[in-house]
Structure 1
Amino acid sequence: MNWRKSTYSGGGEGNTCVEIAALTTHIVVRDSKAPARGTLSVPAPSFTRFIEYLKRHS
């Protein structure tokens, strides 16, 4: 998987955020501080709506 971190990641190592990986039908999310602990898989359309909501309400 190709994991990406936000350009807004803070901290010297940039490890105080989540990472995402885009799959064919899902977006996978993990904690960058503990990547081996597990992932959350979300349908891509739901993740897109969630991000659009955050952009409108921040």
Structure 2
Amino acid sequence: MTNPANWQKSSFSGGGEGNDCLELAATPSLVHLRESDTPDTRLSTAPGALVHLLNHIKNGIHGEG
């Protein structure tokens, strides 16, 4: 897997250098997510799929089982 170089912490992480943060990095075709306390464990997805998931979460839409 390509190692994204520019990890950014969530604005909800409280700032500082703590390890309780969600971090995001983007490459041309993927968005990568990780927790700063376990940086070797990552979730990677296409940007459109992440937008779709976040819109569903934001709008409280629940899928059918």
TM-score when scaled to structure 2?
0.66
Structure with the bigger RCO (C-alpha within 8 Å, sep 6+) is 1
Q: How many residues align?
A: 56
Aligned counterpart, 1:51: 54
Q: Which runs of 5+ in 2 are unaligned?
A: 61-65
Question: Given the alignment, which residue of 2, 6, 9 partners 1:5?
Answer: 9
2:23 partner SS: strand
Residues 13-46 of structure 1: per-residue CA shift (max 9 Å, x gap): 44213211011111011121121x2322111110
Change beyond 3 A, Cα 1:7–1:38:
same
- Aligned mates of 1:14, 1:8 — CA distance in 2: 12
Aligned counterpart, 1:41: 44
1:40 partner SS: strand
Please say which structure displays the higher CA radius of gyration.
2
